[in-house]
């Protein structure tokens, strides 16, 4: 084994293209809650609490859930933009959480992130050409200034922006154009895996469709793998191959997109799907809405057992006694953490 691999804590990888590209095992990311003049720790926010996920090469895994459930924290923890508390994140068979700085720096060439806010994620003091070209400098992917400029212009053309825009500043662009700049920046290092953190939620509906179509074309062209984080279930249905549903730090259901929408097993998933508006007045009036009672469980002091039980219309005493594992319901690739599934 190379000495550098030993130093970074890596073992020889036996990963092949048939294996999952990303494997998340028991991933936990907690944040301390501090109080008082001495800022003593009085609790922990369990933003991500023992999550297991697999993402296959070339697929889009949608990640949905209410605001504050831990979706963005999970995406950033996978990339180590936030350091997880414990668990494993394996990328191409290698545990990223055990990597040293040098190995992690090389690994970052294979992954990228598209941020939610196209206004706040771009440095207003840099031209968009410098913003997109910065990853090329960091990873030494352009030997000369001319090569860098040519590559930046290629990236602009790839995402539907005029190459002549490279000397402009972010404030000169619309929201959709800024998000295209963010996509170009993510593509600069030729990644395999991209975390898309609600990339269309801040955009107008017509622009959302353009960005979604662009992401799909890029995925097909470069065989990209996406973790697509969103709260708009109609958008997720359109772009995702599989969908994971998250509630208060836990993944409660994972399934193929079509199967999830047609036959949800977890009551929380069913309640989310029932809230999707249908543009047909007759169908909309005839379907049953699932209205949840109570408040979302606290990630600082979650209830015992199933975290959804305090709002669940199917809750039984067993739900408070122990936490159902994700494979409590297993129908092929369809998994759900529920003792009393919808069936």
CATH of the domain at 7: 3.40.50.300
Task: Tally Cβ neighbours within 10 Å of residue 290.
Answer: 13
Whether the CB-CB separation of 205 and 38 falls below 8 Å is answered with no
pLDDT per residue as tens digits for the range 204-216: 888 999 999 999 9
Q: Are residues 257 and 154 in the same domain?
A: no
**At residue 7, does pLDDT exceed 70?**
no
Q: Are residues 195 and 56 in the same domain?
A: yes
Average pLDDT score, the chain: 89
Q: What is the DSSP string of 83-135?
A: --SEEEEEETTEEGGG--HHHHHHHGGGEEEE-S-TTTSS-TTS-HHHHHHHH
Domain boundary among 194, 220, 240: 240
Domain boundary among 213, 240, 267: 240
Q: Alpha-carbon torsion 335, 307, 235, 193, what sign?
A: negative
Q: Are residues 138 and 225 in the same domain?
A: yes
Cα–Cα distance list, 253 to 51, 135, 248 (Å) = 11, 36, 13
pLDDT for the residue 163: 93
Q: Are residues 269 and 296 in the same domain?
A: yes
Q: Are residues 222 and 294 in the same domain?
A: no
Helix %, strand %, coil % for the chain, to 5? 35, 20, 40
Whether the CB-CB separation of 312 and 306 falls below 8 Å is answered with yes
Of 179, 77, 175, nearest to 132 (Cα)? 179
Domain range enclosing 256: 244-343
Whether the CB-CB separation of 179 and 211 falls below 8 Å is answered with yes
pLDDT per residue as tens digits for the range 245-285: 999 999 999 999 999 999 999 999 999 998 877 776 766 56
Of 254, 298, 342, nearest to 63 (Cα)? 254
pLDDT for the residue 291: 81
Q: Strand 94-95 relative to strand 111-114: parallel, antiparallel, unpaired?
A: unpaired
Cα–Cα distance list, 137 to 105, 107, 131, 168, 223 (Å) = 13, 16, 11, 19, 24
pLDDT for the residue 148: 93
pLDDT per residue as tens digits for the range 23-68: 999 999 999 998 887 778 888 999 999 999 999 999 999 999 988 8
Whether the CB-CB separation of 246 and 47 falls below 8 Å is answered with no
**How far, in whole angstroms, is CA 133 from its chain's centroid?**
24
Q: Are residues 188 and 303 in the same domain?
A: no
Q: Are residues 35 and 117 in the same domain?
A: yes
Q: Are residues 176 and 264 in the same domain?
A: no
Q: Are residues 8 and 145 in the same domain?
A: yes
Alpha-carbon distance 114 to 213, whole Å? 15
Domain boundary among 220, 240, 260: 240
Q: Are residues 223 and 312 in the same domain?
A: no
Whether the CB-CB separation of 133 and 188 falls below 8 Å is answered with yes
Tally the domains of the chain. Answer: 2
pLDDT per residue as tens digits for the range 132-176: 999 999 998 988 999 999 999 999 999 999 999 999 999 999 999
Q: Are residues 190 and 257 in the same domain?
A: no
Q: Strand 225-229 relative to strand 22-35: parallel, antiparallel, unpaired?
A: unpaired
Q: Are residues 82 and 25 in the same domain?
A: yes
pTM of the model: 0.90
Residue the block writes with tokens 């067993």: 318
């Amino acid at each position: 084994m190379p000495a550098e691999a030993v130093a970074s804590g890596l073992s020889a990888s036996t990963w092949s293209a048939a294996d999952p590209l990303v494997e998340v095992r028991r991933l936990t990311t907690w944040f301390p809650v501090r109080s008082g003049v001495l800022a003593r720790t009085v609790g922990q926010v369990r933003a991500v609490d023992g999550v297991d996920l697999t993402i296959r090469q070339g697929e889009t895994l949608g990640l949905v859930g209410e605001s504050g459930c831990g979706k963005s924290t999970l995406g950033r923890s996978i990339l180590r933009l936030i350091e997880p508390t414990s668990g494993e994140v394996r990328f191409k068979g290698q545990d990223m959480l055990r990597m040293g700085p040098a190995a992690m720096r090389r690994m970052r060439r294979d992954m990228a992130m598209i941020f939610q806010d196209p206004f706040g994620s771009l440095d207003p003091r840099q031209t968009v050409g410098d913003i997109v070209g910065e990853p090329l400098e960091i990873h030494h992917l352009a030997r000369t200034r001319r090569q860098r400029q040519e590559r930046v212009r290629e990236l602009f053309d790839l995402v539907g922006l005029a190459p002549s825009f490279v000397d402009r500043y972010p404030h000169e662009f619309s929201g959709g154009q800024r998000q295209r700049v963010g996509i170009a920046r993510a593509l600069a290092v030729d990644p395999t895996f991209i975390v898309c953190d609600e990339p269309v939620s801040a955009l107008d509906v017509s622009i959302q469709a353009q960005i979604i179509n662009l992401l799909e074309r890029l995925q097909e062209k470069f065989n990209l793998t996406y973790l697509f984080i969103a709260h708009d279930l109609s958008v997720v249905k359109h772009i995702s191959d599989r969908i994971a549903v998250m509630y208060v730090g836990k993944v409660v259901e994972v399934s193929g997109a079509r199967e999830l929408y047609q036959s949800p097993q977890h009551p929380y998933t069913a309640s989310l799907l029932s809230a999707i508006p249908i543009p047909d007045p007759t169908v909309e009036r005839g379907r049953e809405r699932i209205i949840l009672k109570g408040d979302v469980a606290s990630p600082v002091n979650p209830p015992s057992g199933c975290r959804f039980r305090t709002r669940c219309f199917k809750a039984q005493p067993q739900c408070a006694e122990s936490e159902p594992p994700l494979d409590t319901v297993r129908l092929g690739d369809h998994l759900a953490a529920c003792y009393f599934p919808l069936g």
